[in-house]
Amino acid sequence: MIPALSRPVWAHIDLDIIENNAKILTSLAYPSQLCAVVKANAYGHGAVEVSKAAIKGGASWLGVATLEEAIQLREAKIQAPILLLSQPHPNMIAKVAQYGFSFMVYTELGLQAAKEISKSYRPKMHLKIDTGMHRVGASSQEGLILAHLIAQDPKLTLEGVCSHFACADDDQDSFTTYQLDQFNRFLSLLEQYDIDPGIVHLANSAALLRYPQTHFDLVRVGIALYGYPPVPFGSQILKQGLKPALSLKALLSLLRKVPAGEGVSYGLRYKKPQECTYGVAPIGYADGILRRLSLNGAQVLLNSQRRPFAGTVTMDQILIDCGDIENVKIGDEVVFIGTQGKESISALDLATHLETITYEILTSLSDRIPRFYSDKECNEWLLQFD
């Protein structure tokens, strides 16, 4: 989708905050290294800009989901090692290796594809072990076979061994401990067979913050880099000084008075017993302002006050109940995520309204929303809407 610069809707990302978050996370991880997880356009924040800021703040690796995401970073001249966080399709492994990206491997098919291209390129593999999440990863038995096959082939490199936690962000401490035990057992097996595991990594944001014994050589951190807690351990994030970097705003495009008792928007579900002034913001569910927000009582900030969404969010427009705000006018700033006066709304607030997670709110923000990284650039662009 092409960013729409012709309407006053924008996201602003403070890269100093990202850099500072990376600094804090680097020091929390030390002596382990930090892999900044920048998949899904850096959780909606902009992969290239965030990667550069995270590296400035001390990150030494970047984690992505797809080959395209990795290529985008290399084409932006980012030199840090890039790890694809799952096994690519076997037919794509040649291309991944050709670019020099590291990737996770966990099946014989994947390994076979890597072997086939190893005459021309050196595939850099991180063996992923399933320690209990049962999403992707080889069982310990399968993993040991794969590790032997890699170790026996001089053209293959076992660059790392890793796993992923299922519950590090909730209260099931015992399952996280169980996964850690499983992982340590696998590492002992490798040691027994004298196989060098290379870079060992297991922790995500929650584990970085809560389980120091899981840090090993590298931690793979996403949500905390963006200043949000892996639910529900919010206070820990604040204690560490991590801050959200993204704000989402629009300018009011229209104001309308609707007579007492008349409904507004699809389904006419929202009505007031008295005449009411509604503001229109040119943003909708196609931008990632999910439709259910209006049904669940979410609010925006307008003239430094919290105001409710009025009626159903539509694809490109939303209505705001302006209540008795005085002097509200077309062109006023509406904040969906961010601060206005003394009030703030965070992506976590929106997630809480929808009984979902912050990750989903942030990654739902569509490419139609332009992202700005400099106040000056953003303010200059906004001048055309005066």
Ligand X SMILES: Cc1ncc(COP(=O)(O)O)c(C=O)c1O
230 binds ligand X (CB under 6 A): yes
Dist. CA 284–CA 333, nearest whole Å: 16
| Closer by beta carbon to ligand X, 197 or else 222 | 222
- Residue 10: both structure tokens together: 């924008």
Region binding ligand X by CB under 6 A among candidate stretches 219-227, 246-254, 288-296, 340-348: 219-227
Closest distance to ligand X from the beta carbon of 37 (Å): 4
Interaction of residue 220 with ligand X, rule CB under 6 A: yes
Name which position in 32, 87, 179, 204 contacts ligand X (CB under 6 A): 204
Q: Which helix (H) or strand (E) holds 96?
A: helix 93-99
CB 364 → ligand X: shortest distance, Å? 15
Which pairs from 230-233 meet CB under 8 Å and 24+ separation? Answer: 230/168, 230/169, 230/204, 230/205, 230/206, 231/169, 231/348, 231/351, 231/357, 231/358, 232/169, 232/170, 233/169, 233/206, 233/209
Indicate whether 221 belongs to the interface with ligand X (CB under 6 A): yes
The residue among 229 and 288 lying less far from ligand X, judged by its C-beta, is 229
Is 239 considered catalytic here? no
- Closer by beta carbon to ligand X, 85 or else 328: 85
Q: Two tokens at 241?
A: 């000084």
Is 266 a known active-site residue? yes
Helices (H), 153-289: 173-192, 205-210, 234-240
318 lines the binding site for ligand X (CB under 6 A): no
Q: Does 144 contact ligand X by CB under 6 A? A: no
Tokens of 160: 């790392």
Nearer to ligand X, 11 or 223 (CB): 223
**Shortest Å distance, C-beta 287 to ligand X:** 22
Total interface residues for ligand X by CB under 6 A = 11
Pick between residue 222 and residue 282 the one whose CB is nearest to ligand X. 222
In this chain, which of 11, 29, 37, 246 binds ligand X, going by CB under 6 A?
A: 37
Interior angle at CA 246, CA 308 and CA 386, nearest 5: 70
Q: Is the dihedral of CA 145, 151, 156, 157 positive or negative?
A: positive
- In the complex with ligand X, the residue whose CB is nearer, 221 or 310, is 221
User: Of 164, 249, 272, 353, which lies in the binding site for ligand X, with binding defined by CB under 6 A?
Assistant: 164
Confirm or reject binding of residue 205 to ligand X (CB under 6 A).
Answer: yes
| Residue 20 structure tokens | 């500072």
C-alpha Rg value of the chain to the nearest Å = 24
Helix (H, G, I), strand (E, B) or coil at 63: strand
Give whole-number Cα distances, 82 to 66, 78, 249, 300, 367, in Å.
Answer: 11, 9, 32, 38, 23
- Selecting among 30, 99, 193, 266, the annotated active-site residue is 266
Are 370 and 5 within 8 A, CB to CB? yes
Q: Is 45 in the site for ligand X (CB under 6 A)?
A: no
Among 30, 39, 115, 155, the active-site one is 39
- Return the range that interacts with ligand X (CB under 6 A); candidates 15-23, 209-217, 218-226, 328-336: 218-226
Give the residue numbers marked as catalytic: 39, 266
Binding site for ligand X (CB under 6 A): 37, 85, 164, 204-205, 220-224, 230
